[in-house]
Structure 1
Amino acid sequence: MHQRNHSGPSLHWQSQLLLLIVVPACSIWIFIRVANAWAFHDPVLLQMAAISIVFGLVVWVARAATGYAAATGAIITACLYLRLPGWRTPIIPLIVMLILTLTATRIGRARKEQLGTAEARHGRNAAQVAANLGGAALAAIPLTATQLFAPSSRTAIASLAAISAALAEAAADTLSSELGQVFGGQPLLITTLKPVPVGTDGGVTLAGTAIGCIGAAIVTAVAAMTFRLNVSQGAVIFSSAILGLFADSLFGAVFERRGWLNNDAVNFLSTLVAAIAAGWIVSRHFFE
C-alpha cells in the first residue's frame, strides 16, 4: 500500500541478505524432498522440475524479471510445489497473484514514468522476487523433522494458510502501490494523515487501499478453493493479508523513510507479518 520509492545503495546489503536467507533455505528444503522422492521413484520430481522451469522461462521471456530473478522465482516455485504437489498446489494462487501484479505494473506506465516510480523495463531483480515471494516460500518449509516426515493436519493447514496470506499480501501491496499512483490522487502519510508527494514511503490513498483489498480478496478466494478451506479460514487469511498491507505502509513510513530499511526488506517483512498471523491463528483457533 505504500508508494514505491527505490532505496539508495547504502542499504543494498539488506537485499543481498534477503537473498542469502530465502534462496539457501528453499534449496535445502528442495534437496531434502528430492532425496526422499528419489529413493521412492516419486514422479513429483519431474512435475516439480517441469513446473519450476516453465515458470522461470515464462517470467523471463515476458520480461517480468531478469534472468537471475527468474531463476530465483523458479526455486521458490519448486519450494511451494513440493509443499503440496498435485492439482491443489500453492502454485495456483501464486499464478493468480502474478497475473494481478504484472497487470497492475503495466497499467498507467506513462504516468509512473513521469513520476519516476515505474518499474525497470527489464523487470524485477532477484532481491525483489525474494522480497515478494520469500515469505510464502519460508512458510512452505517444515521447521521440524516431525513436520517433514509425519505432518499433522494442524501444521499442514496452518502452513497453507500462511502461504496464502503471504501471497495475498504481496498482491495487495503491489496493486495498491501500482494502481494507487494512477487512480489514487494525493497520498497521505499513514502515520500523520498529512498529504505527501506521490512515491513517498508510507504514503497511502483510499483508492489504492481499496484496490489492494480487492486483490487480496481474489488471491484469498482462489487459495481457499484450491486448498478446500472453509469460510472462517478464508477470513483469517484475508484479514492477515490486510494486516500485512498496513504493516507494509507503517514500516515504510517509520523505517524506510528514515533510511533504516530498504524497500525489499519492507516488502519481505510485511509478507512475514501476514504469514505468521494467518498460520498462528489457524493453528491455535481451528484445532482446539
Structure 2
Amino acid sequence: MLIRKDQSGLEWQSKAVLLIVAPWTVISVLLQGYWWAVQRPVVAWTTLGISAVFGLVVWRLRAGTAGAAATGAAITASLMFATTRFPYETSWLHGGLMPLLAMFLLTFAATKIGKAKKEQLGTAESRHGRNAAQVAANLGVAALAVFPVAVAAQDGVLRHSFEAISSFAAIAALAEAAADTVSSEIGQVLGGQPRLITTLRRVESGTDGGITLAGTFAGVAAALIVAIIGFWAMHGSRQLGSYWASICLAAGGGVFGLLFDSLLGATLERKGWLNNDAVNFLSTLSAVLFPMAIIALVLSKASPR
C-alpha cells in the first residue's frame, strides 16, 4: 500500500529500482524507435509524440515530478512500440497505451477522492506528485516485460513470438499497479479502520500491511478494468469474449500482487528491510510471475508424459 513515512535509510533501494528500469527502458525505446523510423516513420513519430504529450500532461497535472514524467513517457513509448498493430496509422489505439491510460486515470482519480481526509491522516499524495523512482517501481515491470520485443525488433519471427507473452505480462503488471493504488486510496476514505493482513488486528490508517474490505474490492475492480481494456485494445471488442480466461488470469495476477504487496508491507517493510518502492516493484513482479506459473503448471499437466 502507499505509505508516507521516513524511509531515508533505504533510499538506495529506490535508486536501485530506478537503475534496473530506466536504462533498459531507454535502450528499448532507442532500438524500437530506430527500427520503426526506418520501416514505417509514422509509427515512430506518433509513438514518440503521444508519449511526450502524456509525460507533459502528467507533469502539468502535478501527478508527477519532471523526472517522473520523463520516466513515464519513456515507459509509455516502450509499451507502445512493443504492441504496435496493423494498420500502422492507428496502431496507437490498439496497443499498450490504452491499459496504461486506464491505469493512470483510475489511480489519478483515486488519489483525488477524499483528499482532505488523507491530508488530515498524513497519507495524501505529495503535492508534486510521484517521483521517478515511484513511477519505475509501479510501471517498471511492464516496461521490462516488453523488452524482449525490442531486442527482436528486426526479426519478424522472433518479434511475434515474444509479443503475446510480453503483452500479457505487461497487462498483468499494469493491473497490479492500478489495484495497489486504488485499493490504498479508496480504503483510506471509505474503508474505515484497516486490519493487518497477517493477523487481522485493527491498525491505524497508513500502517504497512493494513487492508480494508472496501479498498480490496476497489483494487479488484481496478485490476479487472485494466485487464479488460488491455485485451480490448490488443484484440478488439469482437474477440474479447474469446479471451475471458486470459482476462481473469491477468486480473488475478494484479489481485495477487495487491495482496503480496500488503504481505510484504506487514512483514519486511515494517521491519525496515524494504522501502515502499522496493515493495511496489516486487509486488508488481509477483503479479506477472503468478499467472505465468499457473500457465506453466496447466501446460505441464496437459502435456503427454
1:179 Cα deviation after fit: 0.8
Report 1:151-230 matches (<5 A).
Answer: 151=158, 155-228=162-235, 230=243
- Contact 1:161 1:282 (8 Å CA) reproduced: no
Matched, 1:110 2:116: yes
Aligned partners of 2:113, 2:273: CA distance in 1, in Å?
A: 31
**Residue of structure 2 equivalent to 1:264:** 277
Q: Indicate yes or no: 2:248 matched with 1:235.
A: yes
Q: Does 1:249 align with 2:257?
A: no
Distance of 1:208 and 1:264 partners within structure 2: 20
CA contact (8 A) 1:147 1:155 kept: no
Of 35-44 and 183-192, deviating more is: 35-44
SS at match of 2:126: coil
Question: Kindly, what percent of the aligned residue pairs are identical?
Answer: 48
- Deviation per residue, 1:34-91 (Å, 9 max, x gap): 2323333532210121111111111111111111110111111111111112121111
* 68-77 or 141-150: bigger deviation: 141-150
Query: In the aligned structure 2, how far is the partner of 1:245 from the partner of 1:191?
Result: 14
The answer as to whether partners of 1:97 and 1:167 remain within 8 angstroms in 2 is yes
TM-score normalised by L of structure 1? 0.93
Q: Equivalent residue for 1:96?
A: 102
TM-score (norm 2): 0.88
| One of 124, 141, 146 as aligned partner of 1:135 | 141
The verdict on how the C-alpha distance between 1:147 and 1:231 changes in structure 2, with shifts beyond 3 A counting, is: farther
Aligned-partner residue type, residue 73 of structure 2:
A
Is the helix fraction higher in 1 or 2?
2
Query: CA 1:192 to 1:232, structure 2 compared with 1: closer, same or farther past 3 Å?
Result: same
The change in CA–CA distance for 1:180 and 1:194 in structure 2 (over 3 A counts) is same
Aligned length: 287
Q: After superposition, what is the alpha-carbon deviation per residue over 1:187-225, rounded to whole angstroms, capped at 9, x for unaligned?
A: 111111111111000001111101111111111111121
- 2:184 partner letter: S
Deviation of 1:154 after TM superposition, in Å, equals: 5.3
Question: How far apart, CA to CA, are the structure 2 residues paired with 1:145 and 1:180?
Answer: 41
- 8 A contact 1:161–1:279 mirrored in 2: no
3-state DSSP class of the match of 1:216?
helix
Q: Residue 120 of structure 1 aligns with which residue?
A: 126
Contact preservation (8 Å) 1:7, 1:263: no
- Aligned to 2:46, what secondary structure does the other structure show? helix
Residue 8 of structure 2 is matched in structure 1 by: 9
SS in 2 for 1:151: helix
Once the 2 structures are TM-superposed, how far is the Cα of residue 143 of structure 1 from its aligned partner? Answer: 7.3
Q: Which has the higher contact order (CA 8 A, sep 6+)?
A: 1
- Structure 1 SS opposite 2:148: coil
